[in-house]
Each structure stands twice: as structure tokens, then as C-alpha cells.
Structure 1
Amino acid sequence: MFSAIESTELDKSRPVYDSSWVALNKSARAKMGTISTDQIHIGRRGRFWEEAISDLYTKTTVAIENPVQFYGRINWHKIGDVVLSDIRSTCSVVARESRHIRPSGDNPIQINFQLEGTGTVLQDGREAVTRPGEVTMYDSARPYEMRFDGPFRQLSVDFPRAMLQDRLKCSERVTARGFSGTSGPGRFLYSYVQSLVMEKNDDDLLIANYLQDNLMELLGIALFSLSQTGPLQDSDTKASTLSRVKAHIRAHLSDATLSPATTAKAQGLSLRNLYYLFESEGTTVWRFIQDTRLDQCRKEIEDTRMFGRSISDIALAWGFKDSAHFSRAFRSRFGLTPRECRAVRRT
């Protein structure tokens, strides 16, 4: 995590994001800090912000609508193993993609408390719009997207996954489902998080543990209440399962042994039910696996930073076993060969 460092003026002899900060910021001694784009050159703010929040939270990509008007500032501190943040920024899209997710990683659970502006969270086939006074949760073990169409301020709480395992058996039931922070069980959680973020009274280890335990109890109550608001409709359950299966496939595209059988086993489904899920979308499991692999290959083939890497290496890295089969499949999907695709990008 970040130590108490303000961003400094970036000169051309220094990388956009000083990698020497990372080792310091991830130190166990780091308890609080500030990240700001205030003194970062306008043309470099997007990359700075993306790399900074990827280090503080989880790996993501950030798309900025207007670099000239963009700004971002995060004041954060830790209570025990929990990271609490006060985030202020503006128009942007933050996305955690399948390529960012490592099955063996911690992949924390994250909860946002909207203070100003509006935000939209998309995950597990659902979309939640959060306004001031509302709360939403997302799970970094699966792809998600957050959209902001104007200035906003939100409080964010980042939990190690292990802390919620006993209280949250199935995160798919509560992700991207906004709930009120001004009424019901959510009001206690919302108020408590606000006080924790603003006061930063975590110097004493015993106090920190006590505050962390209280936070977990209030969160557990709020999430239990949300999960009991009524059974998900069949369509919601199906969408959630399909989203989970797709996330698994995207996270394992580089595995050449990935197949419908291995996917069904990993997700606790029968092959028949797995086929049924994809039939409703007018495709097959194999088609989805191949098309998703091809999409990833095309991104890298067209990426100017990857021009030094051979096309066959890219194909093998994304799970294709045979170069000839890859070329035929690529042409069938995109209407041109992989080499033609790269040549067009070079011009």
C-alpha cells in the first residue's frame, strides 16, 4: 500500500509512476497516505491514476473521457487488514478484466459508500446505480466495471477475502445490488464507515482490532439482510451463474486444457446445464472459449508494444495448440489473417 506520500511534479527523466514507491508503499509499516494528480502533467494523469489505484487496490484499467478536466485524489489509511479510502475524482471508467485476475491471488472484496455524484457498478450480469447515501459491493475475483459520468466522492472499504468467508458464502448474491445507507441495517454500517474514514484513530493495535471487528459485524448484518431480501428470480440466478462461468473461462484462457468438461467440473455444473446456459445466448461453450481467445489474440497482435512478439507465440499464450487452426479461426472471425491484421495496424 501507499505510504504517506503526496504525488510530486513529474519530470521527463522520471517514469510516470515511480516504481520505487511500490516497495515502500506495500511495506507492512505503511498505515496511511495520499494519492493525488494535482501536480502530475495533464497528459500523464490517466496512466498515473491507473497505476496508482492498481497498486493500492487491485489491478484495473482506467479510461478517461477528458484528460484536461480529469483529477483524482485518495486519502487512505488502514485499520488492521482493512483499507479505508476517501476518493474524489471525475468522469472515468474503471474496469477489472479477466486478464487482471489470478485464481491464486487474494482478490479482495470491495464496498463503496457514495457521498457525492453518482456511480454505476456492473458485475455478475447486474447493474447498480449508486447515489449519495447508497452502498454497493463488488468482488475482485470476477470482472467488474465502475462508471462515473461526472465529479464524485465515495468512501471505499477494501477487505481481504478471508475476512468475509464465514459471513459471505456466495458473493454473487449481493454484488452490484445497491442498498440504502440511510435506512435499515445499512444506516449503521454507513455511519460507522464515515466515522472510521474521517477520524483515522488506528494507531493502537488493540483499538484497531476492536474497530475492525465492529466493522465486520455491521457489514455481516447488512449483507445478510441484503441476501435475504427475497430469492433471486430464475433469470437472475441464471445470469449470475453464466457470468461466473464466463469469468472462470476468461481467467483460464491461457490453459490449453480448458474445455467444457473442465469448466463444468470447476463450477460444480453438469455438462448438460453448462450447454443450456450458453444455448440461451445462441452460442456454445466451445464457441465462447474460442471467440474469447481470438479477441485477446487480436488485442495483442494489434498492440504496437507487442510487435516484437511473434504471432504464433501470442496464439500459444492464449491456449491455441495449432498455428494453422488458429489462423483459420482468426480469418473466419475477423475476415483477415493475423498477419494482415498486424500489417493494417502498422500502416
Structure 2
Amino acid sequence: MKLRFSTATVEDRSQLSYWREMISDAFVQYEVEAPSYRTAGFRGEVTAEGFAGIQVSTVVSDPHTVVRSPLVIRRSPRDDFLVNLAVHGSLTVTQGERDAVLRPGDFTVYDSARPCRITAPDRFELLALKIPRALFTAHCPLAPDATATLVRGDHGVGALFSLHLRSLAAHAADLPSDVVQQVGVNTLEMLAAALPKRSSSGNGSALPRPAQWLRARQYIAGHFADPELSPAAVADALGVSLRYLQLLCQREGTSPFRLIQEQRLQRAAQLLTDPRHAGRAITDIAFGVGFKDASHFTRAFKNRYGIGPRDYRGGHSPNHPRDPHQEVGDSTETARSVRPGKAKPMG
């Protein structure tokens, strides 16, 4: 059943109170805080569609903050998890001591049974999934300390889920009845794959080492473009200590830092030889794969491939791109263009 409401249907002086009432009915009860400069009039609209026990909604609204305080939770207990995905504008979802700052495409999960705050400083559009706890936990095991954790929507499984949720919001009402249940399960399974993998006991190291090594590589492969990704962040996401992660990598002849940097450099090499990115600035490529400093990128790239990124791009024909995983020094022709002693492996 589709639900639609808009504050445009009521007079200005009643719009904010109407909004408070409607979003509490559509989602969970909140306290609503409008910016102090807004004295009258509030524009907001919601479209919601239910299917397979899940509700998917589109929210377009003026800036404001909603709060699930302990008092509100006692007065209106709900047992749902909610996923918020930013479409336009930015939002900050706060739960526990974590802040997930969402920019377009990013999403996070929060628990309606625990205090939380959602703040939008500017006009915004978001997509929201409301999932009953029993359904969520059956498909998406998530530790309490993993809510309000940012999931980037520009790469990896996060990007797949972001695109899926946008499509779902647009077409949920048109789904044939015989596929609704399967689409619901697929949505939850894709969400589970995108969420951070944390053990509720914090003892992720209880898994076998090969499984942990695979998890570490997969997590880094899905998040290397995040400039804030660090060995400590990887360990935290896996639910292990930094020392355990270091030992895990050491057994494989590498380190967490080198593992992250190798992913970034390999992706940069692929982009530099991709004809579709021929006009893209090298600095833009460096920042796009997670480097924060162009000089650091150039040094790291030269250490890894024997020549700088500009020469690497110039030495590869767009029609015959080289394997970016191959050391530049492996090529006799390229090796002659590199001064002795300049090419050295990373680390």
C-alpha cells in the first residue's frame, strides 16, 4: 500500500507540526527540531511503499533534525532497523558515540530502540528502508556497535546496494506479486553484504586465519578509495585487534599498509592506461583511489612501477593497455628507460 503526504496540503503555520505527526506515523516517533531562523512554513513530502514486510520511502524536505530520545523511546517503543541513504544534500546520523556523515550515495543503519539523532543542515532527499527487527536480524547480523557506521556508495558492494535501493524506490509499486518476496530477500542479502562485518563479541579473530585473510582483502578491495581507510580502520571493521591484523598480513609477506597502498596503486595504474580516462588529470586519479597527497602518490607509484605516473601513462598505448599488475621492470623496453637503482619493489 502506497503512502503519500506533503506539508503543501496544510497552511504554513501548521506545516511543521503536521510534518512531525506524519513522519512519526510513517517511520517511528521523533522529536523534530527546525532551524531557529525558520519562523513559518516548512516544505516536506514523503512517498512510502510496503512490500515483503519492508517499507521503502523517499523523503524530500527542508533542513531539520529528528531525535529519538530515551523519553520518546519509552513513550513510543518500536523494534525496527532503519537504513538511510542520501540522494541529495548531506545528513549526519548519530547513534552511540558514532557519527555517519552521509553524502549522496552513502548510507547507514540505525536502531529505533536506541537513542539517535539525524541532522540535515540543508534541503535534502533521502531513501529510507524500515525493516522489522526479526526480519533484519535473520538476514543482516549486525553488532550493536556497528550502527551509524558509514557505508560508502561510490564503490564496492556499497555502490551496488545504493543503486539497488534507488531502483527499488522507483519500481517497488510495480513489482509482480509472485516476485515481491524474492526481491525482499535479495534486498536484505545485498544489504548484509554491504554492512561492516563485526563480531558482536568483538572476537573476530576466532575465525580461521584463511577466512580472516580473505575478509581483510575483500574489505580493503571494497574500501581502498576511502582516503580515511587505515590499518586501524580495517582491523576495527573486521572486529580484530590491529596487532592481529598485522600478524595476519605478516604471514602473507605483507603489511596492512602495503595491502591498502597496493590496491590503490593497482587501480591507479588501470585508470592511467584506460582510454576512457585519457583526459583525466593524474592528480584527480590519485585522489580518486584514496591518496591524500599528489607528491606521495607520485613517489609511491614510482617505487611500485619504476617510473612516474605521467611516463607510465605515456608509455602505454590506449589500444594495447598493459597489465597494470605487471612490474614495469619486467618489460625490456621499459627497463631501458629507467635509470639503474630507481626501480624498487614497494615496502
TM-score band by shorter chain is 0.5 to 0.7
* Equivalent residue, structure 2, for 1:58: 28
Q: What is the CA distance between 1:102 and its match in structure 2?
A: 4.6
Q: Are 1:230 and 2:235 an aligned pair?
A: yes
* Equivalent residue, structure 1, for 2:4: 34
Which SS does the other structure have where 2:155 is aligned?
A: coil
| Two-structure CA RMSD over aligned residues (Å) | 2.5
* Equivalent residue, structure 2, for 1:302: none
Q: What is the CA distance between 1:111 and its match in structure 2?
A: 0.6
* Equivalent residue, structure 2, for 1:49: 19
Q: What is the CA distance between 1:199 and its match in structure 2?
A: 1.3
Q: Are 1:68 and 2:73 an aligned pair?
A: no
* Equivalent residue, structure 1, for 2:186: 214
Which SS does the other structure have where 2:40 is aligned?
A: coil
Contact in 1 for aligned 2:61/2:125 (Cα 8 Å): yes
Q: What is the CA distance between 1:39 and its match in structure 2?
A: 2.2
Q: What TM-score do the two structures reach when normalised by structure 2?
A: 0.55
Task: For 1:53, give the aligned amino acid.
Answer: I
Q: What TM-score do the two structures reach when normalised by structure 1?
A: 0.55
Alignment of 1:127-142 (within 5 A): 127-142=99-114
* Equivalent residue, structure 2, for 1:90: 62
Tell me, in whole angstroms, the C-alpha distance in 2 between the residues paired with 1:214 and 1:104: 30
Q: 1:110 aligns with which of 59, 62, 82?
A: 82
**Structure with larger Rg:** 2
Q: 1:134 to 1:185 in 2, by over 3 A?
A: same
Q: What is the CA distance between 1:201 and its match in structure 2?
A: 3.8
Task: For 1:110, give the aligned amino acid.
Answer: L
Tell me, in whole angstroms, the C-alpha distance in 2 between the residues paired with 1:40 and 1:103: 27
* Equivalent residue, structure 2, for 1:78: 50
Task: For 2:5, give the aligned amino acid.
Answer: I
Q: 2:144 aligns with which of 165, 168, 172?
A: 172
Query: Could you give the per-residue CA deviations for residues 316-336 of structure 1, whole angstroms, max 9, x where no partner exists?
Result: xxxxxxxxxxxxxxxxxxxxx
User: Structure 2: any 5+ residue segments left out of the alignment?
Assistant: 200-218, 220-233, 240-347
Tell me, in whole angstroms, the C-alpha distance in 1 between the residues paired with 2:163 and 2:107: 12
Tell me, in whole angstroms, the C-alpha distance in 2 between the residues paired with 1:106 and 1:225: 25
Q: 1:128 to 1:47 in 2, by over 3 A?
A: same
Tell me, in whole angstroms, the C-alpha distance in 1 between the residues paired with 2:198 and 2:125: 24
Query: Could you give the per-residue CA deviations for residues 298-322 of structure 1, whole angstroms, max 9, x where no partner exists?
Result: xxxxxxxxxxxxxxxxxxxxxxxxx
Tell me, in whole angstroms, the C-alpha distance in 1 between the residues paired with 2:10 and 2:136: 37
Corresponding pairs, count:
205
Tell me, in whole angstroms, the C-alpha distance in 2 between the residues paired with 1:64 and 1:195: 30
Contact in 1 for aligned 2:57/2:169 (Cα 8 Å): yes
Task: For 2:32, give the aligned amino acid.
Answer: V
Q: 1:226 to 1:130 in 2, by over 3 A?
A: farther
Tell me, in whole angstroms, the C-alpha distance in 2 between the residues paired with 1:221 and 1:46: 37
Tell me, in whole angstroms, the C-alpha distance in 2 between the residues paired with 1:143 and 1:207: 35
Contact in 2 for aligned 1:32/1:76 (Cα 8 Å): yes
Once structures 1 and 2 are overlaid, which stretch shifts more, 70-79 or 164-173?
Answer: 164-173
Which SS does the other structure have where 1:47 is aligned?
A: helix
Q: What is the CA distance between 1:107 and its match in structure 2?
A: 1.7
Percent identity reads: 26
Tell me, in whole angstroms, the C-alpha distance in 2 between the residues paired with 1:177 and 1:104: 25
Task: For 1:41, give the aligned amino acid.
Answer: E
Q: 1:63 to 1:105 in 2, by over 3 A?
A: closer
Q: What is the CA distance between 1:168 and its match in structure 2?
A: 4.0
Tell me, in whole angstroms, the C-alpha distance in 1 between the residues paired with 2:195 and 2:126: 19
User: Structure 1: any 5+ residue segments left out of the alignment?
Assistant: 1-30, 235-347
Q: What is the CA distance between 1:122 and its match in structure 2?
A: 0.9
Task: For 2:34, give the aligned amino acid.
Answer: I
